[in-house]
Amino acid sequence: IRSFNQSRFPRVYKDSMLPVPETYNDPKDAWYPPGHGDLFESLHASGELDALIAQGREILFVSNGDNLGATVDLKILNHMIETGAEYIMELTDKTRADVKGGTLISYDGQVRLLEVAQVPKEHIDEFKNIRKFTNFNTNNLWINLKAVKRLVESSALEMEIIPNQKTITRGGQEINVLQLETACGAAIRHFSGAHGVVVPRSRF
């Protein structure tokens, strides 16, 4: 088992957009982990990316810690090798319980992840329509490690920023803050041959 630290970013006050922490050793509530989109940079900065590549590893399987159905599926692995895709996202059928889950769309000729936080209020009901958007992102991802290295080192991994509003207590007062996060799935548009595969709900 190997481990590495995720980055920590400063929360910002919603009203002034100034950072909450005043020094590097401010209390933990002034900081936040910037979403799982930070995986690529943290993997690279920690040295783990180069270590995995040096061991001959080629493909990374990523899943959320709360997804107990996420195990290595050799069929998907073989599909990735056969198609030469640098990135595969597992999707599953959307039910009424999953209406907030992100989905893949085609935009400007690219496959992209659309999250509910990016949808204008007037289109939320349309986004939640399970007849229009039939699948959602399980956050089970298959990613080519050399492609990650290429994209990180060329600063090509631009991902949409998702503002996340939170409330923290400081000096006995509740304060509205913002966390600027990114989603790992949003990187899909930067990888060659990237696509989604529909899997049974047992994998989610």
Confidence of residue 7 (pLDDT cuts 50, 70, 90): very high
Enclosing domain of residue 76: 9-19+28-64+72-199
Q: What percent of the chain has pLDDT over 90?
A: 58
pTM of the model: 0.87
Highest mean pLDDT, choosing among 129-143, 160-174, 184-198: 184-198
Buried b (16+ CB within 10 A) or exposed e, 20-42: bbeeeeeeeebbbebbbbbbbbb
DSSP state of 119: S
Q: Tell me whether residue 194 is in a domain.
A: yes
- Kindly report the average pLDDT of the chain as a whole number: 90
CA distances from 178 to 16, 139, 175 (A): 11, 23, 10
Total number of domains in the chain: 1
Q: What is the Rg, in whole angstroms, of the alpha carbon atoms belonging to the chain?
A: 18
Place of tokens 């990735």: 80
Answer yes or no: is pLDDT of 98 > 90.
Answer: no
Q: Is the pLDDT of residue 68 over 80?
A: no
CATH code for position 179: 3.90.550.10
Residue 204 forms part of a structural domain:
no
CA 182, CA 180: separation in Å to the nearest integer?
7
pLDDT of residue 128: 77
4 within domain boundaries: no
Asked if the structure places residue 165 within a domain, the reply is yes
Residue in the structure block whose two tokens are 């600027």: 180
**Sequence letter at residue 143:** I
Query: Does 1 reside within a domain?
Result: no
